[in-house]
Chain A
Amino acid sequence: MNIKKIMHVENLTHFYGNQIGCKGINFDLYKGEILGIVGESGSGKSTLLKCLSGEISPSAGKINISLDQGGVKDFLSLPEQEKRQLMRSMWGIVHQNPRDGLNLRISAGGNIAERLLNVSEKNYSHLRNTGKYWMEKTEMDSDRIDEFPIGFSGGMQQRLQISKILSSNPQIVFMDEPTGGLDVSVQAKILDTIKSIVRDINVTMIIVTHDLAVVRFLTDKLLVMKDGIVVETGLTDRVLDDPQHSYTQLLTSSILQV
């Protein structure tokens, strides 16, 4: 089977003044792959995600992306309009805090509809059905489609954010600590939901987290970051079961063995 490479990152570097954000990052991302980025606080993983998703423009390096329609493009030199268009349809970010990704003043259905309207869907009943479909897919009660997300629990808001992003059938989804602020049982349920959906629709994902359980559960490949550089990379099971770098060894051994 020929697997398509959809993102190629070369020597990606970002400085905040003299401070290193991330430095010399290289990796390839293939279609349907789930890449985890782990590391402690301040290790540059969020900086890396921001560079990849176009939120900040890196000091140096190259990001080549290949889109479904047509060839390879240099992401960093795309005009702002195309970057925004990508973020609004073909790509998507799931923020740690669902309030960053949702509009709390509009209903759950409206939040999902916004994403679809960005790709010029102008049929009300279709918007409605797609909204309900994705709410059910993320194990929400689709009867609550007209309720406002402000009345949802944290876990529900996160589910809503995920269904909003996935509703436009994106090529790449960026997740920044998707289960960050949630309690353990809700975390587990959401991870279950994410896992069943991604296998279902074959979406490509980059997940940033400090939670090794999340990457073990979801990801295929892993980048371990420390002080802005990648110290170890490989298949998730290999990295976690047979860590080579001393920092990764420290990281894996710091999980409480109950």
Chain B
Amino acid sequence: MKTGFNFAYLDEATKRMIRRKILKAICIPGYQCPFGGREMPLAYGWGTGGIQVTASIIGKQDILKVIDQGADDTTNAVSIKNFFKRVCNIMITDRTAEASLIQTRHRIPETTLNKDQIIVYQVPQPEPLRKLEPKEKETRKLHAYKEYALMHVKLYEEISQFGSVIKTWAYPVETNNRYITDPTPIPKFDNPKMNNMEALQLFGAGREKRIYAIPPYTKVKSLDFDDHPFEIQTWDECCSICGSTKSYLDEIIINNEGKKNFICSDTDFCKSNLEKNK
């Protein structure tokens, strides 16, 4: 199919620039590396960072999977998939295990990723300290000098007010015992998956023009206190479609009386679990 665009939309020089930044980001796990972000045919906030990272590393042999909130069939996922189908003419899949490149928004797939895969996160706000310290100059110093007391003060405040940490998404992590990193708005349920993950994790923020990375087999620790250890969400219910008790469940209101249903947020996991159980 002829599109009039270079393979993967970006020109080769831009791709090289982004790849150089990705390499730098991999060398300094968790460090936010500035890059010359381009305008993409997508509004800021819809994954312009992730799409640029994906575009710069995608090859003709790659099989791409795009998920949005765990689902393969939601607007953001579908439009990004169509975009890459048009500008790269590559294979697209819904199967986590088949994909070599996964772009994601707000979830990490339930299926464990392997060393041949790369996961690209769309990042709404790369700076975990932004809401605590508005000055960019200061947050850079806080990172450089590893002064992370503020982040723990935030957790302290939540425990003192609510009895436990109430942050359930974008729960800050410490990467490789060094940089505090924003894991993007994934539920904290997914945080343990980031630790020692076999796959390479890349993060792209388009508006803020930052790339950061967590290399394979890197220690990722969710912040906590000695006497208030980090915990993930649990549910009393199971998925009403596949019956899974291990996956992250979405709560869905199904009628006007407020009847609730719980289903897996990862649609691919749900489907394959259902097939397996048949």
Contact = CB atoms under 8 A, between A and B. Distances in A.
Interface of A: 80-81, 84-85, 88, 103, 106-107, 109-110, 113-115, 117-118, 122-125, 127-128, 145-146
B149 A117 contact: yes
Interface string B153-184: 10011011100000000000000000000000
B145 A122 contact: no
Contact of A128 (B145, B153, B160, B226): B160
B113 to A, nearest CB: 30
Contact of A124 (B144, B145, B149, B227): B227
A127 B156 contact: yes
Size bracket, chain B contacts: 10 to 19
Contact of A84 (B145, B227, B228): B145
Most chain A beta carbons < 10 A, residue from B147, B152, B153, B226: B153
Contacts of B23: none
A124 B147 contact: no
B150 interface: yes
A110 B156 contact: yes
Given A123-B225, A124-B225, A146-B161, A113 B145 contact: no
A173 to B, nearest CB: 19
B226 A118 contact: no
Interface in B123-156: 141, 144-145, 147, 149-150, 152-153, 156
Interface string B208-234: 000000000000000001111000000
Given A122-B226, A124-B228, A109 B160 contact: yes
A80 B147 CA distance: 13
Contacts of B150: 114
Given A123-B227, A124-B228, A106 B145 contact: no
Contacts of B160: 107, 109-110, 128, 145-146
B149 A110 contact: no
B228 A114 contact: no
A81 B147 CA distance: 10
Contact of B149 (A81, A118, A128): A118
B119 to A, nearest CB: 30
22 contacts: A81-B144, A84-B147, A85-B145, A88-B147, A103-B153, A106-B153, A106-B157, A107-B157, A107-B161, A110-B157, A110-B160, A114-B149, A114-B153, A117-B152, A118-B147, A118-B149, A122-B225, A122-B226, A123-B226, A123-B227, A124-B225, A128-B160
